[in-house]
Homo-oligomer: A and B are copies of this chain.
Amino acid sequence: MKPHDLPPTSQWTLARRAERMNPSVLREILKVTERPGIISFAGGLPSPRTFPVDAFAQACEQVLRSDGPGALQYAASEGYRPLREMVARLLPWQVDPDQVLITTGSQQGLDLVAKVLLDEGSRVLVETPTYLGALQAFAPMEPQAVGIASDAEGIDVADLARQRAGARFLYVLPNFQNPTGRTMSEARRQALVQTARELALPIVEDNPYGDLWFDMPPPASLASRHPEGTIYLGSFSKVLAPGLRLGYLVAPSAVFPKLLQAKQAADLHSPSFNQRMVAEVLRDGFLDRHVPTIRALYKAQRDAMLAALAREMQGLDVQWNAPEGGMFLWARLPAGLDAVRLLPQAVERGVAFVPGAAFYAGEADTRTLRLSFVTASVEEIDRGMAALAATLRAALAAART
């Protein structure tokens, strides 16, 4: 074969989808904001104070002592059966363990859903704004993400009906949403499920934060109301610890086998050792004792941030919400300010946040920002919010001149 017979090609030819894969805006921002001395409201990290280190240490020892070789061997792609049974029991509706697939974090659930349900150009409907990590997980399958109009109660079902044609599913995060912290109301859930049934529109329901409620649990999940039409994604990252990378999905029989095959091709199975550790920790109702301590901590943190906002933002035309759980609060700057442009000025004054623009599938509201209330201490929240208010005042003064 003569070299000139070859097609003109560089050594590495990337798949077309690689163009859609870009460094996470969020990760790039976080790098800047992780400089020492910066008070960060930007990260999405659970408070490490909530990680049950001692329970994990005991579970490790127990798992290795009782069946070390079994815990360290290859295992079924579906997941460790006792853990699948525990997940089914923990969920407050009728779930068959055979419907539960253990995933390497709920992020992998999004990857599997995209592989099984999205073709190039498929429409996927998302909230406005929506979880950035979902957009990133879907992107390699080259879909068209369409933002559905949303308000403080959640998705606008009339707009959903208008946008339904050809959509493969609606992706929705109903409880203490990332990034807005908002919760879909009971009325909206009823309307959404009714509309989804009428439109034969599948739902992918992501629920990493649902257990982190402050005063009362959120309304029942969409999956519990419409199990045959919903893939439900859950996670142990926020109620135990993210470093084990364990989540799960619950899927109806119409799609479970394909999700399982995609799982097997993706990483064979999630770590068997970690699955047994979590199953060991969860025995005897551990979450019933542990999760209330996380709720109490995060509620106090939210209260501190709300108080700091009310105190520091006086006289500034800043809006914010009061999430009823989770880790994030959503704010909106006065007219004329842009959160992306404000960020370096805030970092200069020692405080960081995530501009909201990254979370929109369509046109972004550039005045929005996401504030995490769980990473910084109460004292840091106070100082950080004062610094943010000073940044705003300076930017507004500069805008006026």
* A contacts, CB < 8 Å to B: 1, 3, 5-7, 9-18, 21-24, 27, 44-46, 48-49, 51, 53, 56-57, 60-61, 64-65, 68-75, 77, 104-105, 107-108, 111, 115-120, 122, 133, 136-137, 139-141, 161-162, 164-166, 168, 198-202, 228-229, 237, 241-245, 252, 254-255, 257-258, 261-262, 264-274
Contacts and interface: CB of A to CB of B under 8 A. Distances in A.
B268 A107 contact: yes
A62 to B, nearest CB: 10
Contacts of A49: 69
Given A116-B15, A267-B111, A51 B24 contact: no
B241 A117 contact: no
Contacts of A198: 3
A282 B17 CA distance: 37
Stoichiometry, as copies per complex, reads 2
12 contacts: A6-B199, A7-B165, A9-B200, A10-B200, A12-B252, A15-B122, A21-B265, A57-B68, A60-B60, A104-B245, A245-B269, A271-B271
A72 B45 contact: no
A136 B46 CA distance: 35
Which 4 A-B residue pairs are closest in the complex by CB-CB distance? Answer: A48-B69, A53-B68, A72-B241, A60-B60
Contacts of A269: 245
Nearest to A141: B15
